[in-house]
Amino acid sequence: MTRKELATRTGVTEKHINTLISEERNITASFAKKLGYVLPVDEIDSDDPKENAKYWQGLQNNYDIFILEKQEKNNITTEEVKVLDYLEDIINYLILIGMLASNLSNVDKILELRKILKISDLTLIPKLPCKGAAFRAQLATNVKIDRYVLFGWQYLCELTTDTKSVNSELNLDLLKLKLNEIKHLMFDELKDGCRKLKELLAPCGIAFNVVKHFRGAPVQGFIKKTDDNKLILCLTIRGGRADTFWFTLFHEIAHIFNKDYENRSVDFDSSDSEIEFKADRWAQDFLIPPEKYREFIDLRRKPRRDEIEKFANDIGVQPFIVVGRLQKDGFLDWSDCTDKIVHYKWAE
């Protein structure tokens, strides 16, 4: 078909057709509708003008996006390139687990990270609040929070946690029934215990994962509610102490029972809030029944190692739980019974 005939059939000037072909003009929705009548599309094998019009408009949309992507690469700011330095550890880990290619240019890294982190410009990250998630962190005066790293770590939790294996909605009654079984997992090797923990929590509507920790995100635990009424629960092994890991697990479970994860964000310097205090108290009392603990510390002296082991055995926890509590409450120095504190290490 000649340009002149196409112009006549679509009711436009021949100049209009020329400017379309020379890329000086885009295909509008109204012209795509006209093309739908005039030019059937073999690729979609359709006689429906509406479907043909969608095809022509789709070609224009794809081309527009292609041009925008070319412009986007050229318009990446030096400020956004600098963000890659903040995210270096996150980027290296994404490469390690195969979510990011190792040979990308800085520009391509930025474009890929935008997709992974679901944000149109990496420099916007600090402006986003940590909504919809509850965090637990051990803070010290020399610990700095990097919003870029924290944001990236949060998305790692969501990206690496297998929510598809959780077929049920959140079920708190079932979770209560499994608490003692969950507590007993501290006697397993960490890898086996975490595998069994995933299996125990999945029927309760909770997808569990242990996620690597990073400098700049001093986080021990993470909870987020999904759109289909399930929960993501992630822990780190930051600090390495087994007593911290298991205490944090039950601290997060307390948040789940209290529904603290719903529509709230937790500021890191508010870890002494009433919400956190309640979760701490529940976790302490579940791991070590308060009446029995009061009886045990009423010895008015520093407990002996054999007494600690016997008490731990009587209440069904590992000795490191008792040692950690006694150290925290000042009945033991932090240097006492350190051989009883099991340390976990991250293994890729």
Provide the 8-state DSSP code for 228.
T
Q: What is the pLDDT of residue 67?
A: 77
Domains of the chain: 3-75 (1.10.260.40), 76-128 (no CATH), 130-287 (no CATH), 288-348 (no CATH)
| Reported confidence tier of residue 165, pLDDT bands at 50, 70, 90 | confident
Supply the mean pLDDT for the chain.
89
Residue 6 corresponds to which tokens in the numbers above?
């196409």
| Reported confidence tier of residue 267, pLDDT bands at 50, 70, 90 | very low
Q: What is the pLDDT of residue 272?
A: 55
Distance of CA 311 to the CA centre of its chain: 38
The answer, yes or no, to whether residue 5 has pLDDT greater than 50, is yes
Q: What is the pLDDT of residue 260?
A: 85
| Reported confidence tier of residue 268, pLDDT bands at 50, 70, 90 | very low
State the pairing for strand pair 206-210/231-235.
Answer: parallel
* Average pLDDT estimate for 312-328: 96
Backbone angles phi, psi at 222, to 5 degrees: -145, 135
Sequence-ordered alpha helix ranges (H) in the chain: 3-10, 14-21, 29-38, 49-75, 78-86, 88-96, 106-117, 147-160, 172-177, 179-184, 190-201, 242-258, 274-287, 290-297, 305-315, 319-328
* Average pLDDT estimate for 203-215: 94
| Reported confidence tier of residue 65, pLDDT bands at 50, 70, 90 | confident
CA distance 283 to 285: 6
* Average pLDDT estimate for 225-245: 91
Tokens 């937790």, residue located: 266
Question: Per-residue pLDDT tens for 186-201?
Answer: 999 999 999 999 999 9
Q: What is the pLDDT of residue 20?
A: 92
Q: How far apart are the first and last CA of the chain?
A: 62
The answer, yes or no, to whether residue 148 has pLDDT greater than 80, is yes
Question: Per-residue pLDDT tens for 71-126?
Answer: 677 778 999 999 999 999 999 999 999 999 999 999 999 999 999 999 999 999 99
CA distance 238 to 137: 9
> Is 151:125 a contact under the CB 8 Å cutoff?
yes
Q: Per DSSP, what are the bridge partners of residue 165?
A: none
| Reported confidence tier of residue 183, pLDDT bands at 50, 70, 90 | very high
Segment among 3-12, 132-141, 302-311 with least mean pLDDT: 132-141
> Is 193:186 a contact under the CB 8 Å cutoff?
yes
The closest alpha carbon to 208, from 217, 200, 198, belongs to 198
Q: Per DSSP, what are the bridge partners of residue 210?
A: 235
Q: What is the pLDDT of residue 229?
A: 86
| Reported confidence tier of residue 149, pLDDT bands at 50, 70, 90 | very high
Q: Is 133 helix (H, G, I), strand (E, B) or coil?
A: strand
> pLDDT: is 321 or 348 the higher one?
321
The answer, yes or no, to whether residue 143 has pLDDT greater than 50, is yes
> What percentage of the chain carries pLDDT values higher than 70?
93
Q: What is the pLDDT of residue 205?
A: 95
* Average pLDDT estimate for 281-294: 96
The answer, yes or no, to whether residue 7 has pLDDT greater than 50, is yes
Q: Is the dihedral of CA 176, 180, 181, 182 positive or negative?
A: positive
| Reported confidence tier of residue 23, pLDDT bands at 50, 70, 90 | confident
The answer, yes or no, to whether residue 139 has pLDDT greater than 80, is no
Amino acid at 58: G
> Is 233:256 a contact under the CB 8 Å cutoff?
yes
Provide the 8-state DSSP code for 303.
P
> Is 222:134 a contact under the CB 8 Å cutoff?
yes
Provide the 8-state DSSP code for 21.
H
* Average pLDDT estimate for 115-139: 81
Q: Per DSSP, what are the bridge partners of residue 208?
A: 233
| Reported confidence tier of residue 269, pLDDT bands at 50, 70, 90 | very low
Q: What is the pLDDT of residue 153?
A: 93
CA distance 34 to 46: 15
The closest alpha carbon to 260, from 157, 347, 132, belongs to 132
Residue 322 corresponds to which tokens in the numbers above?
């008792």
Distance of CA 12 to the CA centre of its chain: 53
The answer, yes or no, to whether residue 312 has pLDDT greater than 90, is yes
This model's pTM is above 0.85: no
Segment among 130-144, 275-289, 292-306 with least mean pLDDT: 130-144
